[in-house]
Amino acid sequence: MKGKRVFVAGHRGMVGSAIVRRLASEDCEVLTVSRDRLDLLDQAGVRRWMADNKPDAVVMAAAKVGGILANDRFPVDFLQENLVVQSNVIESAFRSEVGKLLFLGSSCIYPKLAPQPIREDALLTGPLEPTNEWYAIAKIAGLKLCQAYQRQYGVDYISAMPANLYGPGDNFDLQSSHVVPALMRKAHALALSGGNNLEVWGSGTPRREFLHVDDAADALVWLLKNYAGDSHVNVGPGEDVTIAELAQAVASVAGVEATIAFDTTKPDGTPRKLMDVSQLFATGWRPRYALRSGLEQTYAWFLQHVEKGDVRLGAA
């Protein structure tokens, strides 16, 4: 990394901003560009920016992401935007002779009923989870595009498959967020009102593998520095919890004695997506946060920033 110019696409998002924080301790120059100066949907603009700035490496952390309901409601946005943005960045990087690129997939792009824990080679072995297949198809295409560039041109374009991420900078808009920020916001509302009815979508039985975004960023930078294989690499803690257990933990972190009310009119999504992280762990990498301490750190961030008014809350 020494002296290298690393472009982080999507630096305002939760993952991109964590990667920028993590790269600050590397001896490299971090390049970012704001959305009003460069729209990643604009192919000519991205080609021009890449040619003008000539990064040595690119981390592709820009993506349209959202929770289970947003994915279901806005299929065009999730499929179209992701396809276009990722193709623009990957192709422009290649045209500008970028030697290294890291693309991010997600554990939700594995088949819905993949054997657990999910190994890297389970990709494309079965039908997808219908609530997020739009996002999954786009991400699979991105992953395959990196692999195709590797095969055809021998460039070092790699992919990582992060677990469900949470942490500072997350989206706390209840309509579009993932489960951790949603439950934090709801628990916080109970803490303020003195109520105790914590509404949890679905049955509470699905299991999810949660990774703090700073741990994710640490693993991603590690891969950027050390990994050059043609398979994507799973990135997670290798442990999962039920949504009911998560809800109890979040309530406890917020200091709320909660009674959980399951709203079974909302979807459960895939029953389980625990990844096999033996490839990553074999390198010696381990996460620093246990789920409880990661939730505490994130809730503290939320309290601090909600006060300042710079948390993404969406419409009331």
Please give the residue ranges that form the binding site for ligand GDP (CB under 6 A): 67-68, 108, 132, 164, 177-179, 182-183, 200-202, 206, 208, 243, 266-269
Beta-strand pair 5-9/29-31? parallel
Q: Is 194 a known ligand-binding residue? A: no
- Closest distance to ligand GDP from the beta carbon of 134 (Å): 12
Q: Which is nearer to ligand GDP, 143 or 179 (CB)?
A: 179
- Flag whether 105 is marked binding: yes
Does the annotation list 207 as a binding residue? no
Least CB distance to ligand GDP at residue 200 (A): 4
- Does 10 count as an annotated binding residue? yes
Instruction: Report which of 74, 274, 267 is spatially closest to residue 161, judged by C-alpha positions.
Output: 274
Q: Which is nearer to ligand GDP, 206 or 238 (CB)?
A: 206
Which of 43/203 has CB closer to ligand GDP?
Answer: 203
CB of 181 to ligand GDP, least distance (A): 8
166 a catalytic residue: no
Q: Which residues are annotated binding-site positions? A: 10-16, 104-107, 139, 162-165, 178, 186, 201, 208, 268
Q: Which residues are annotated binding-site positions for substrate? A: 186, 201, 208, 268
Active site residues: 135
